[in-house]
Amino acid sequence: MKIETPFDLGAWSAAHLDRVERALERWVTAEAPAGVDHGAPAELVEAMRYAVLDGGKRLRPLLVMAAWEAVSGETAMAGHDEAALRAGHCEAALRAACAVELIHAYSLVHDDMPCMDNDVLRRGKPTVHVKFGEASALLAGDALQALAFELLTPEMDEMPAAQQARLCRLLARAAGSAGMAGGQAIDLASVGVALSESQLRDMHRLKTGALLQASVMMGAACGDAPNVAQAALGRYGAAIGLAFQVVDDILDVTADSATLGKTAGKDASQDKPTYVSVLGLERSAAHAQELLGQALAALAQSGLRHTEALQGLAEMVVNRSC
Amino acid sequence: MKIETPFDLGAWSAAHLDRVERALERWVTAEAPAGVDHGAPAELVEAMRYAVLDGGKRLRPLLVMAAWEAVSGETAMAGHDEAALRAGHCEAALRAACAVELIHAYSLVHDDMPCMDNDVLRRGKPTVHVKFGEASALLAGDALQALAFELLTPEMDEMPAAQQARLCRLLARAAGSAGMAGGQAIDLASVGVALSESQLRDMHRLKTGALLQASVMMGAACGDAPNVAQAALGRYGAAIGLAFQVVDDILDVTADSATLGKTAGKDASQDKPTYVSVLGLERSAAHAQELLGQALAALAQSGLRHTEALQGLAEMVVNRSC
């Protein structure tokens, strides 16, 4: 029996964050997986855990869970029976949520390295290469990417092979050369280059948009959604993926390092093109609101009933202050 | 109709290498995959292609193809009808072969970077970071890992979802923290450390053994093999995986850089523990032959009829001079 109450994004997020944190804690481990006779070396796993645990907004996992709930009509809110949830598709959604976060975490580790952004501060802590050395940071990032695909391919009957394959496909494409890694390569080549708005958009569609959109699509892939809903969720994901970056660029000039937990003003000082440098602050803010409108319109067109969390997350992405 | 002729490993390898090279050429590309509206940035793909194409012994792809042939009783030798092969499982085996090679290639790119082995020569050419810069080498490696999982998850009916999921599972485990990346982390921590033979074996089981063994298991996963055959192929893969490293350690002290296509004597100069430093040259050579014996015994126990290529590859691994 469900009792309809006004949707509380804070409570919803807290419950899901708790679940995601516990799952990451369990899965990023030196213990050998079932059927394997050895685990991972402790020193590598320590760097991997440092990169992943206890930090970050976990926006991508929340998008996965919200999309899964929207298409399945189920909820993984705390208080529900764990065993029942595990027997359902929640386990798949949780694995997808953590896999996306591992890809995101590895990209930050590599992005912070001296040969890339050379950043020493992340989430208010020393970056992985500062703490563990460059070689360990490189390997920890590499291992986190592999672990993401391990999480998506458990030897368990509850997660059908078709779902495993589809999730791997979505994640691999979003992470690779025509997705996140490709976007970072364009970013790298764009320092000191004047980009048009459309070139900037293309870069960010790959660099951050692809993985954010994949989060939504992977959540949807954990349930059964009609094609029209899948397509609408794709548009939602594309809109908030871009909105996220527009707001990131705004915050880079309006917020301070302590609030962001990373070095503010970095893009401008590195002469990187941003939405603010191309559109100005005011038009960037208006563009973010426009993208929010597109995201909410897509949800309305999806035909799905339980889109409250997706709606709340879109608003949070655009109106956040850090 | 099949005509039984003495097995010719040279002709077999040449035919398969040709097929693998053409497939890599086709798949490591800036073109957008079907159903995706954008490709990868050209500059990133150039570095990826440089890292992958036109070089290497392709031992891992050959192991995949040989294992597939052993379990399927089919052959993908040149001259056979391409369309018929594509309709069979050969396409899956070819994808698996290339996926494993992409993981291997990415590991070399990252391993050569200044923060790791700082090597400037690979396969007789400047390493990727020397040619394209460190940041591009980092991203190219990252993108190659993602591409491996893309190759394993095509949207095609000919490759069943269960096969896609199983291949991703095998590859992710072999590449990750309890496989290749884990072995590299142990390697990193072992510079200047005196290891016992069993510690050295454990390191190499992860560092090179896991991916070589996975190559065999992935080939087997592209066909239908009884459990006893799968287990035997696993033992074969473990034995040649270790043998490969023992011989690598021997060649590091007995061959010159021109023959190897990479810097010889590197391990000793970096004070890394090797089979030669632990066992001495003579006992290392004897150990390699012993492992070859184990590999061939496993093939005999497999109950499979067409193991000629696997047998030939095992002999090649142990008796190679570069």
pLDDT, position B78: 47
CB < 8 Å to B154, chain A: 169
B281: alpha, beta or left? (left if phi > 0; alpha if psi -120 to 50): alpha
ipTM over 0.95: no
CATH of the domain at B160: 1.10.600.10
| Residues of B in Cβ contact (< 8 Å) with A39 | 178
Q: What does the pLDDT look like over B93-134, one tens digit per residue? A: 999 999 999 999 999 999 999 999 999 998 889 999 999 999
Question: What is the distance in angstroms between the Cα of B210 and the nearest Cα belonging to chain A?
Answer: 11
* Type of residue at A191: V
A211 to chain B, minimum CA–CA distance in Å? 13
Look at A135 and B116 and tell me if their CB atoms are within 8 Å.
yes
Average pLDDT over residues B194-206: 90
Contact B153 A165 (CB under 8 A): yes
Contact B177 A147 (CB under 8 A): yes
- Cβ-based contacts of B147 with chain A (< 8 Å): 172, 176-177
pLDDT of residue B157: 75
Q: What is the pLDDT of residues A49-84, one digit of tens each?
A: 999 997 788 999 999 999 999 998 876 554 555 555
Q: What is the mean pLDDT of residues B50-59?
A: 90
Interface contact A150-B33, CB threshold 8 A? no
Query: Is B38's Cβ below 8 Å from some Cβ in A?
Result: yes
**Interface residue A57 vs chain B (CB under 8 A):** no
CA distances in angstroms from B90 to B22, B26, B67, B74, B219, listed in the order given: 14, 16, 12, 9, 10
Hey, what amino acid is at B120? V
Strand partners, A126: A121
- Shortest distance between the Cα of B84 and any Cα of chain A, in A, equals 25
**A117, closest residue in chain B (CA to CA):** B135
* CB within 8 Å of chain B, chain A residues 245-284: none
* CA distance linking residue A41 with residue B107, whole number of Å: 18
d(CA A168, CA A234): 17
Instruction: Report the C-alpha gap between B230 and B227 in whole angstroms.
Output: 5
The answer to whether residue B246 sits within a structural domain is yes
In a domain, B70, yes or no: yes
> What is the structure's pLDDT at B6?
80
Do B165 and A169 lie within an 8 Å CB cutoff? no
Q: Rounded CA gap, A44 and B225, in Å? A: 35
The better pLDDT of the pair B70, A75 is held by B70
Q: What angle do CA A293, A294, A299 make, to 5 degrees?
A: 95
Q: Report how far apart the first and last C-alpha atoms of chain A are (Å, whole number).
A: 38
Tell me, yes or no, whether B85 lies in a domain: yes
- Residue B147 clears pLDDT 80, i.e. is over it: yes
Please indicate if any CB of chain B lies within 8 Å of the CB of A39.
yes
State the CB neighbour count (10 A cutoff) for residue B110: 27
The band of A183, judged by pLDDT with boundaries at 50, 70 and 90, is very high
Residue A3 lies in a domain: no
For residue B43, which residues of chain A lie inside 8 Å, CB to CB? 185, 189
Q: Where in the sequence is the domain holding B42, given as residue range(s)?
A: 9-319
Position B48 in a domain: yes
Task: Decide if pLDDT at A167 tops 90.
Answer: yes
> Does B87 contact A at CB distance below 8 Å?
no
> A176–B147: do the CB atoms touch at under 8 Å?
yes
- Whether residue A4 is contained in a domain is answered as no
pLDDT at A87 over 50: no
Phi, psi of A122 (to 5 degrees): -150, 125
* A2 found inside a domain: no
At B22, list the tokens: 């053409």
Asked if B41 and A177 count as a contact pair (C-beta separation under 8 A), the reply is yes
Q: How far is B5 from chain A (nearest CA, A)?
A: 40
Q: Is B178's CB within 8 Å of A116's CB?
A: no
Mean predicted lDDT score pLDDT of chain B: 89
For A57, the token pair is 């907004």
C-alpha closest to that of B143 among A175, A99, A147, A206: A175
Structure tokens that stand for B269 in this block: 């100069």
Asked if the C-beta of A141 comes within 8 angstroms of chain B's C-beta atoms, the answer is yes
Residues of A in contact with B172 (CB under 8 A): 146-150, 153
CA distance A81 to chain B (A): 29
In this prediction, residue A137 carries a pLDDT of 98
In a domain? residue B1:
no
Model confidence at A3: pLDDT above 60:
no
B-interface mutation test, from A138, A180, A190, A198, most B Cβ less than 10 A away: A138
Q: What does the pLDDT average to over B176-204?
A: 91
Count of the separate structural domains present in chain A: 1
Distance from the Cα of A140 to chain B's closest Cα (Å) equals 8
Of A18-27, A127-136, A190-199, B120-129, give the lowest mean pLDDT range: A190-199
The closest of B148, B8, B158 to B78, measured between CA atoms, is B8
Gap from A2 CA to chain B (nearest CA, Å): 36
pLDDT at residue B10, rounded to an integer: 95
Contacts of A206 in chain B (CB under 8 A): 38, 41
